[in-house]
Amino acid sequence: MQLAVGDYLDNRYVIDRAIARGGMATVYRCVDTRLGREVAAKVMHEQYVHDPVFAERFRREARAMAQLSHPNLVNVYDFSSEGDAIFLIMELITGGTLRELLDERGPMPAHAAAAVMRGMLTGLSVAHRKGLIHRDIKPDNVLIDMDHRVKLADFGLVRAAADATHSTDQIVGTVSYLSPEQVDGSPMTQSSDVYAAGIVLFELLTGRTPFSGETPLAHAYARLREDVPPPSAWMPGVPMLFDELVATATARHPEDRFRDAAEFLGALEDVADALALPDYTVPVPRNAAANRAAAHPTVFGVGAPRARDERLFPEAPSATRYEPAVPAPAPERAPMPAPAPEHVAAPAPQPQRTPAPRPRAVSNRGGFAITLFVGFAIAATAAVLVGGWWFGSGMYGMFPPIFVTGQ
């Protein structure tokens, strides 16, 4: 079912704009007409609605999120699997994703990476205490709200730890963040999430994931043969203690890793204390899809637009590219002169002295203003020359009639 601006879910939630699309579902900004609040609706794609495997996965996500409540987790409010639409109503996060932040800013220093991981691991530890395994930890599923709080989202692949011990012949997850046991079919534990979280930490510090391959399968199998390299090998300046954190979290054998998110979080805090890392406020991505949707909400009511061909993001560029949040360094300039003391008049100009040439200052005049000024100077000079010629030649009174008024 293709949803458009103004469509309703369950005769209660009115669709505004799409803010994210995945392989199984699309997330929309919505308005709950009963409570008058903005929410997010995760709506399963039409081709999966009648597939019992995907439908059950969606129901499992709803049940898992409903039993979890924490500031570092996205809250769930409602769920429906009746009719032609299967959807989940969740807390609307109008900030952005960790993926969008990485796209804007690139690799993070250790103290910034620690702040992000602290929020993510805190939320994940809540799920682990409930006996759940997330199975899809990645930057796209880590959100940053407008209060700079990090929240873990998207429990679409969640399983109870007891159920996840049964292996299947299907690789489920995102290839860059798969644990070795997800690839070879070994029983999964909460340390499988720890492995994925370790890959996220590696990416925060270096700006990339550690493995690659010509095909997704080759990419996945690379982690069965190789260890994750130390981040400092790819990004000089990363503290050695962070190398050790990544090495432990991403050990190929689950028994060599941190047991769960809480143990990983405890080790992270020990490292932060040992390095005396400063506090850090995680920034909100500037050009996030959710932020753009929230900045231009649709006003529903009499005369509200319902056009199906209305662009979702009229102000967005055609390509999905984000401007860097940190501006490019300015060209090197000459040192600025010291400011003059306040309330002191500038000395009178000395006409008999010609000042020495100085470095050309960066002007804020537009090209048009400069052209106009030069044109005016040329015209004034010409007028003086022509006027002298008129006066000197006795031709002042012989203007062509077109310039004579009052006749």
What are the backbone angles phi and psi of residue 208, rounded to the nearest 5°? Answer: -155, 165
Angstrom distance (rounded) from CA 279 to CA 114: 9
Amino acid at 373: F
CA-derived radius of gyration, the chain: 32
Is 136 annotated in the active site? yes
Of these residues, 16, 32, 103, 136, which one is catalytic? 136
Contact 184, 140 (CB under 8 A): no
Which class for 363: exposed (0-12), middle (13-18), buried (19 or more C-beta within 10 A)? exposed
- Spatial CA neighbour of 246 closest among 200, 278, 212, 277: 200
Q: Say how far residue 69 (Cα) sits from the centre of its chain.
A: 24
Whole-Å CA distances, 397 to 374, 379, 394, 405, 406: 30, 21, 8, 13, 15
Q: Rounded to whole angstroms, how far apart are CA atoms 8 and 126?
A: 33
Catalytic residues: 136
